[in-house]
Every structure is written in C-alpha cells, then in structure tokens.
Amino acid sequence: MNRHSRFNKKSILIYFLLFAVVSFWQSCLSPPSIKPGSIGSVSQMTVIADNTLWEGMVGDTFRYFFQGPYPILPQPEPLFDVAQFAPDKLTDIRREMRVLVFLGNLNDKTSATSNIIRQTIGEENVQRAKDDPTYGTIIGRDRWASNQTVFYIFAHSDEQLASIIKRGFPSITEKMWEIDQGFIKNRTFLRGLNDGHNKRILDSFNMNIKIPNGYTEVLHEDNALWLRMDDRELISNIMIYKEKYTSEKQLKNEYLKSLIDTLGKKYVRSELEGSYMRVNNWDLPVFYEQKNKAGAFAVEGRGIWELVNDFMGGPFLAYVILDKDNNNIILVNGFVMAQGKEKRPYMQNLDMIFSTIDF
C-alpha cells in the first residue's frame, strides 16, 4: 500500500511538472493579447450618458460648449462632432471609438453610467468629488483600444455636473487638440513638404514655416509672398508680408485688419472688374487674441473675407508677429474658399501649418 501511495504521489508530481512546462511553452508561442486600434475622425467625441441625463440640463450644457460654433466660419460648423449613446450600447462601441466621454451624476444609484464611473474611478475619487465641488474630471488612456482617450466627467448633482462641464471645457478642448494634432498633421502634410517655398520664406522673411506640397507661387516681391493651392473643392491661400516696425499701433487689433484690407485691395481680385478682397466684419466680427508665436508677441485674428463686386468669400486666420531681432512686423494670412463644403478641416490645416512658424 505504501509503495502504491508513493507511486501515485510521484506520478502526480511528474504530471504537474509536465503541465507546467507545456503551459510555459504555449504562453511563449502564443501571440500576446493586442488591443484593437481605435477609430474615429478628427474632432469627434462619443458620449456615454443615460438618456434622461442627456435630454436634460446636463446634455444641454455639454452641447452648448462642445457643439458651439468653430471660430469663425461663414456658415456655422460645430467645434466637435458629438454623438451620444446610452450605456447599454457601450459594449458595441467601446473597442472602436478614439474619444469616449462618460457623463454621470454619482448621486443617482440607478444610473448605469454613474455605476460604470464609480467602479472605474474608485470610492476615493467619488468621495473627493463630494467634498470638492470643483473636482470632477479624470482622463484615462487605452482602456479598450489603442490610441483611445476616455474622459470621465462626474459630480453629485446635475447642477454641479453642468458646472464641471463649463469649468472643464477649456482644458478638455486643449486635450482634444493634442489628441487630434497627429491626425491633422498627417492630413496637412500628406503630400510632403515644399522645400523651395520654405527656403524662399526663410530668405525673404527670416522665418521658418513648413509649407506642404500642392501650394504654388502666385506672387513674390521683396516684402510679399503669396502661395495658393487650387484643388477641385478648395482654394487655400497663404500670404506673407513684412514691413519695418515703427510704432506700437502696428500691434493693435485694427492694424491686422487694415493690413489684410490693404494687401487684398492691392493683390487679390477676380475676373470681374473692380473686385478686391477685404475683411467682412459686419456680418461676423473678427475674433482677436494676443498670442506668443515662437517666442514672439503676436496678434491672432479669425474672421471672414469677401470680394467686393463679386460673390466670393470664406474664413481667414491671420497673425501679425513682431520680429524683434530684425525690427520687422510680419503678417501671415491664410484664407480659404470652399463653396458648399465644410471649412473646419481646411482651417485646422492652416492652424497646423502656422503652428510650425519659428524664427
């Protein structure tokens, strides 16, 4: 009996050793678990929220901020494309969407979305949100898919949640720009760079800026350069101009507008006699903002341009930049015409091009 017992123990030991070895080699030979790649277009947000929450003041607040107008376009286009799904649809879409936003009132114990948020962020953060009404946003990465960003926005009442959305809008918008930047960059420079244009800009304006292939030279004078890309659906223009810096008035908002008007009247016209370009600041006001551009003081202007005595127009993005080292004022103006097409992507491309400005 003892010999048989010892034989059983020895057999069991050998069996487990063999099982362990086989399992080890299977784990080595099996491919690792890889998360699927997320999908979703630029400026797209997928919101997970209970229908009752989305149809109330919380949903209204979210739409007001995140689906507000992109600045500034002739016809309204949203800042972000927002689609809402109830939490029971999460399983169907969670492995696909590049940006997910969970909205939840943590006081609602019957809310499926709030329960998901509670389980994810943990009781410590739930309590912190209760103690601090200004706290209510957590960002996660790659939870169900690679290159996925998940925003959790939460509070302990609808009113507090609406306040969190309002307070978090600037930082979430900035984060969305970071998320989308790589995609916009790939789209903008898909054709590569035009080294010839880049060198001409450096030689003429002592400024670096990356110009994509596809732009051709329309005008090149000592202090002005005009590049244009003419596709079937789009005419995109970049005009650069410099003059000596003599007065602080050249760094005022109105001076940016006056430069665009002056150059538009001098250079930009259609085939119709008497046509010229100017800023249209009565249908939509120009949006101005002071910026630091590559370490230099700059005034940014976004608005609408039009052709006088013709029916053409579109959005523009322009900068007046102080080049202290060379005592120059430099105007960089990008303006597009895309009749009947959404213009937000084209303005995002100009934003990307102008983000490469360096001295």
DSSP state of 71: T
What pLDDT was estimated at residue 267?
A: 95
| Confidence at residue 95, expressed as pLDDT on a 0 to 100 scale | 84
Which ranges constitute the DSSP H helices of 112-244? 112-131, 158-188, 195-205
Three-state DSSP string of 101-129: EEEEECCCCCCHHHHHHHHHHHHHHHHHH
Instruction: Supply 252's token pair.
Output: 């005022």
Q: How far apart are CA 298 and CA 285, in angstroms?
A: 19
Q: Of 323, 324, 337, whose CA–CA distance to 209 is shortest? A: 323
- The pLDDT score that the predictor gives to residue 108 is 95
User: According to the model, what pLDDT value does residue 10 have?
Assistant: 45
Q: What is the pLDDT of residue 34?
A: 63
- CATH 1.25.10.10 for domain 195-354, yes or no, is no
Q: CA separation (Å) from 278 to 118, 263, 267, 304?
A: 54, 9, 11, 9
The neighbouring-strand residues paired with 323 are 328
Task: Strands of 265-326 (E only): list them.
Answer: 276-280, 287-293, 296-308, 313-323
pLDDT along the chain (359 residues), means of 10: 43 40 36 63 95 98 96 93 96 90 96 97 96 96 92 98 97 94 94 96 96 96 95 93 97 96 95 93 93 94 95 96 96 95 96 96
Question: What are the residues facing 155 on neighbouring strands?
Answer: 105
- What pLDDT sits at residue 39? 75
pLDDT at 38: 72
Note the CATH number of domain 44-188.
3.30.379
**DSSP category for residue 31:** P
Q: Contact 295/359 with Cβ under 8 angstroms?
A: yes
